[in-house]
Chains A and B, each alone.
Chain A
Amino acid sequence: MEKRAVFRAGSLAYLLILPQLLLVFVFFYWPTGAALYWAFTLEMPWGGGNQWVGLENFSAVLNDAKYWSSVAASCVFAFAATALALAQALVLALFVDRQLRGSKSFRSFYVWPYAVAAPAVSLAFRFIFAPETGLVAFVNQWWPGLWNPSINGAQAMTLVVLCFAWKWIGYNFIFLLAALQSIPRALTEASAMDGAGPLRRMLDIQLPLLTPTFFFLLVINLTESFVGADSFGIVDILTEGGPANATNLLVYKIYSDGFKGLDYSGAAAQSIILMLLVMVLTFIQFRWVERRVHYK
């Protein structure tokens, strides 16, 4: 790990790293510290300063039924979106990796959802799945009111999940294909010689060797769908947390409580809880990344 030929450490070493440390301190550590401070205090009205309230903010958050419905919505969203995004990408990667003629041109299309902005694709999804126009509207013609995500919470959730899963196909595909391509050809050739067809090789050779990458992506997708930027953008454009809070994900609730409800302490307490969740997920990821199988 360590480099042998290092330069003599002088002030230059500190000077080089200073900009990054300053940025990280001002825009990461200080705000995180402020969140902790706010979570345990309550701002007094009319500028009376902050009063220490211990765990009161947390108990207020945890005793709020709306918070738990938001937790439930977030869990449904995160697991459904992750499952769908990974499943689609996995199937595509497995088949593209067969490297038939023309696979390469398919490949470059599968990558592009990565580059498309989540709010832009949300706008497109809002049109495609609008109840009165677009692609799905015809079902309302032969059964009025069958599809309306602006009233039906379950349908709104489906829509949000579909949008996230679409956006994350690209990212997952890139990683899964890279992992597939690093599987030694000798392995596949040997099993082909033993009479295994392509489907059998997928199930018995490629899938087991993909597990490390797959678990890595599982954690990344879960983290992203719980706290990521895309979840926020998708919800804000598609549903704004509605109808009746059916898609009010945790990351959206922090924003609306903090900036629309101006409840800084409550939002900070929610932030701390989410931070803990992300830490747990990251910890799990490290366990998996450490155990990664190296097949080079």
Chain B
Amino acid sequence: MIERTPIFNAVTYAIMLGGLLVVLLPVWMAFTAATQTVEAVNRIPFSFALGDELLTNLGAAWQRGDFGTKLANSFILATGVTLGKVMIAALSAFSIVYFNYRLRTIFFWVIFVTLMLPLEVRIVPTYAIAANALAPLQAILDVTGISALIAVLSGVQVSLQWNLLNSYVGLILPLVATATGTFLYRQFFMTVPDELAEAAKMDGAGAFRFFVEILMPLSRTNMLALATIMFVYAWNQYLWPLLVTTDRGTYGTAIIALKQMVPNPYGGLPDWNVAMAAALIVMLPPVVVVALMQRWFVRGLIATEK
């Protein structure tokens, strides 16, 4: 369709440029500040001229935030959540879609409901669970009288204890326990033609073989999308790592290290240049991942939420 609308086109470009300014400004300003000296960054009005202190500031931020350890932890967290999600969600969606058993609808809803309540809302009890992940089992044993039975029979008092605080498992598992991925796979499995499974069955392939050799290769695009979404989600987690890691030196993630980067207002010139360098370090990895995976991730994001 060809239209001549020169004025409206100019308006369009103006608005798109305005949008670009809004979207770029915080990041561009962080970058500019990260290249300047402490004196330059505190000058009023703020100057957008680039300084040559970028490496110094990055180095200072790296050291103050201990980003060597923190970034490694963030990577462990993000990859752990991504891998766990991509695998567990595929398995459970496969079970729900391709097997016919009475509980499947119930299981489906049991998993589905978890979409409704984000971690932030049930943060206090989830923290209590992380302090002892075996508490539910203990309670079940107590209520059913099994632990009393064991105490009578063997004289051993059952007290199960599995502390997840300050561990990678504690960081990762609660973030895997949601339904997002299961849904993405389910929606996709529903669109796979039934004839494929029939043909596989006729050729003598079992359920597991069909899953590994036919269904998984077909879902490659969905897996990439889910992996991107989960990586960004896990990397950007703030509240949960803040609570679970009391031993920040060993298990702290890069995101929670940002808080201590806020300059102290009473300690001379605030060194925002170092703080901005830290912000850049932390925001880079997920931005790179999204930029590389943009095509798949946009499709996947839209499929998960609808």
Contacts and interface: CB of A to CB of B under 8 A. Distances in A.
A110 interface: yes
B59 interface: no
B203 interface: no
B128 A126 contact: no
Contact of A9 (B89, B100, B282): B100
* Interface-central residue, B100, B135, B189, by most chain A CB under 10 Å: B100
Given A88-B19, A116-B283, A289-B306, A229 B119 contact: yes
Interface string B192-207: 0011011001000011
A124 B15 CA distance: 24
Contacts, number: 318
Interface stretch (B150-158, B219-227, B232-240): B232-240
Interface string A11-36: 01110110111011111111110110
B270 A197 contact: no
A271 B302 contact: no
A119 B116 contact: no
Contact of A111 (B197, B207, B239, B290): B290
A97 B25 CA distance: 23
Interface stretch (A50-58, A63-71, A73-81, A272-280): A272-280
B230 interface: no
A236 B235 contact: no
B125 A32 contact: yes
A216 B286 CA distance: 26
Interface string B257-276: 01101100000001010011
Nearest to A192: B1
Contacts of B117: 28, 32, 275, 278
Interface size class of A (residues with CB under 8 A): 35 or more
If over half of A's interface residues share one DSSP class (helix, strand or loop), that class is named, otherwise mixed; here it is: helix
Nearest to B196: A5
A170 B169 CA distance: 31
Most chain A CB within a 10 A radius of its CB, from B104, B279, B294: B279
Interface string A104-143: 0010111111111111110111111010111101100100
Interface of B: 1, 3, 5, 8-9, 12-13, 15-16, 19-20, 22-27, 29-30, 33, 41-42, 44-46, 88-89, 91-92, 94-101, 104, 107, 110-111, 114-129, 133, 135-136, 173-174, 176-179, 182, 189-190, 194-195, 197-198, 201, 206-208, 210, 232, 235-239, 243, 255-256, 258-259, 261-262, 270, 272, 275-276, 278-279, 282-283, 286-287, 289-291, 294, 298, 301-302, 305-306
7 contacts: A110-B23, A116-B287, A166-B22, A229-B119, A233-B239, A236-B259, A271-B122
Given A16-B94, A16-B99, A31-B129, 19 more contacts: A5-B197, A16-B92, A24-B110, A24-B177, A28-B178, A30-B125, A35-B125, A95-B16, A112-B290, A116-B287, A121-B283, A133-B42, A134-B29, A135-B45, A170-B23, A254-B123, A259-B124, A274-B121, A289-B306
**5 A-B pairs with least C-beta separation:** A31-B125, A13-B99, A9-B101, A20-B92, A34-B125
Interface of A: 1, 3-9, 12-14, 16-17, 19-21, 23-32, 34-35, 38, 88, 91-92, 95-96, 98, 100, 102-103, 106, 108-121, 123-128, 130, 132-135, 137-138, 141, 166, 169-171, 174-175, 178, 185, 188-189, 192, 197-199, 216, 220, 223, 227-229, 232-233, 236-237, 251, 254-255, 258-259, 264, 267-268, 271, 274-275, 278-279, 282, 289, 292
